[in-house]
Amino acid sequence: MKNNAGGRPGAVDPGLGAGGGDEWKKATGSRIRVNQVGYLPTGPKGATVVTRSNEPLPWQLRDANGRVVAGGRSTPRGTDQASGQNVQTVDFSRYDRQGRGYTLRMDGQTSLPFDISAQNYAKLRNSAFRFFYHQRSGTPILASLVGEKYARPAGHVGVGANGDDSDVPCQPGVCKYRLDVHGGWYDAADHGKYVVNGGLAVSQLFGTWERAKHSRTGDPKALGDGTLSIPEHRNGVPDVLDEARWEMEFLLRMQVPSGNPLAGMAHHKMHDRAWTGLPMAPQDDPQPRELHRPSTAATLNLAAAGAQCARVFAPYDKAFANRCLGAAKTAWAAAKRHPKLYAPDSDSTGGGAYGDANVTDEFYWAAAELALTTGERPYLDAMRASPLHKAQVFTPVGFGWQSVAPVARLDLATVPGKVPASERRAAQASVVRAANSYLATQRGQAYGLPMPGGPEYYGWGSNSNVLNNLAVLSTAYDITGKDAYRTGALQGMDYLLGRNALNQSYVTGYGKKVSHNLHSRAFAHELDKRLPPPPPGFLAGGPNTALQDPVAQQRLAGCKPQLCYVDDIQSYSTNEYAINWNSALVWMTSFVADQGTGAGRGRV
């Protein structure tokens, strides 16, 4: 199992400003940390309180009018490893009356307000989905859908000095052809488009739909046609699939055409020849665009995502489904011919490197998805022959673009496909074992997240790692119906939405103390007040103990893991966003929203 850095190694942006002082030592507001978005009526409700006391303390839950509606005594937890703070926890899960503006009071402190509501997460789910429309390349972002504040012309369509993604050459020495690779999503704050990040992100959107269709609490109507503000709504196709198709089409265009060297492989990435500064709207980017060398990892991402695409689109667009499957099979065969064409860490000028020198997990993922879709013997044999097939692929740190075997395992456990029932049962047992280990970890974390507290667990994109561990817990609930897994998944969301050492919601637009200066070229309000901040629903990368940018190094030196974050536009190693982080947010907010409605809830 590869170590998952979770982010963009080699992606070093220029022009960073200076900061000052020990940012992590500054006051963080109320010492009572709660989920600022709110709690479901039928779910866990917990808070973490920073205090000098080591004795249980009385607490009160008050409604918006200040009336005491519940009370009790806190549980001392000692010094939290991830924050260095002496903390206690409060559990008010028994209170289930819906309302807005609740607060907790304890130890002379009052928390930020929060709701108890079954509706809040449906709104958050839609905002997390809308992130991808904002990231679309090659099309105007329409004011009628996002408002004048966030509307913009199409980027990279060859207007003026702007590059034309429909006619992109290779880096010198890579190839002699040009490709039309328009469309897709901009990966993150830069204007690059990367197949390995795109493959995981589109897979998680496809997976969100498959979970909605097949799980005990899934609600496909909530993701159906007309549910999102995108141009394709009301076209007879579920909106989540329409949005995912925008990226899938790009992935297909990145495949090397037949008759060329490395035919069937996928180019690893395409982006600007040199880094641009901040701010820089996509339509203003003056840098030439280039295709980078194909890689085995990118090719297998195309194979896996293409096989999944074929499954989910078959009821809606058979021709597109067949196109996806054909590309997936071609990519698989090409990767088998070129199994060690690795993307180097050194290719980091103008865009992230996304280096990867171990593709065992990509081979396993692609074989599993092709087997689920086709049931054909070569893919089943390849899946079973993988050293990962019977291995424990889930690790404490979570998974991401550099460690995709867990994606294969989750799909094998949950997707009704063309693999034997014995394979499904084995995958389900693996997921449940992993979920049990995450619950054990979570019980030891006073901030309630299913990830250990050591500095090695808080890397680039740590928030997405937390979300992906929560997806394992959610899947275990879908498999078993046991409330412990549902409770663990819901509780873990609290961390991302304010119940953390910084009292910080990491999702833009959701919470009172919330990230809003995310590292971005397009939404650079911190640098230019004429520009908007990021729209609601963007997930910040989160604490990163490696401090891989100058602002973090200057302002966070000596920080404890959960405090290694700064809401500064120039802190790209703690405060960027990325498509594969928001796809994890989509998956989990969809799960939580379904629990709020109670759709299909059952027991075994």
Tokens of residue 577, six digits = 């966003």
Report helix, strand or coil for 585. Answer: helix
Residue 519 designated active-site: yes
Residue 567 designated active-site: yes
The residue among 357, 401, 346, 358 whose CA lies nearest residue 171 is: 346
- The length of the chain, given as a count of residues: 604
Residue 576 designated active-site: yes
Bridge partners of 70, per DSSP, are 61
303: left (phi over 0), alpha (psi -120 to 50) or beta: alpha
Question: 349: number of CA atoms within 13 Å, CB side?
Answer: 9
Q: Say which of 13, 80, 165, 190 is annotated catalytic.
A: 190
- Write the burial class of residue 443 (CB in 10 Å: 0-12 exposed, 13-18 middle, 19+ buried): exposed
The residue among 399, 418, 420 whose CA lies nearest residue 325 is: 418
Instruction: Look up residue 395 and give its amino acid.
Output: T
Residue 167 designated active-site: no
Contacts 24+ apart (CB under 8 A), 455-459: 455/545, 455/561, 456/397, 456/545, 457/396, 457/397, 457/561, 458/82, 458/542, 458/543, 458/544, 458/545, 458/561, 458/562, 458/564, 459/4, 459/5, 459/6, 459/7, 459/397, 459/544, 459/545, 459/546
Q: Say which of 23, 225, 369, 567 is annotated catalytic.
A: 567
Q: Say which of 290, 519, 568, 594 is annotated catalytic.
A: 519
CA 121 vs CA 5, 134, 493, 539: distances in Å: 28, 20, 11, 15
Tokens of residue 539, six digits = 């997930």
Q: Which residue has the tokens 């924050």?
A: 83
Buried b (16+ CB within 10 A) or exposed e, 177-216: eebebbbbbbbbbbbbbbbbbbbbbbbbbbbbbbbbeebb
Rounded to whole angstroms, how far apart are CA atoms 130 and 429? Answer: 34
- Write the burial class of residue 94 (CB in 10 Å: 0-12 exposed, 13-18 middle, 19+ buried): exposed
Tokens of residue 554, six digits = 């200057």
The residue among 570, 540, 541 whose CA lies nearest residue 555 is: 570
Instruction: Look up residue 499 and give its amino acid.
Output: R
Q: Say which of 225, 242, 576, 594 is annotated catalytic.
A: 576
Any idea which residues carry the catalytic annotation?
190, 519, 567, 576
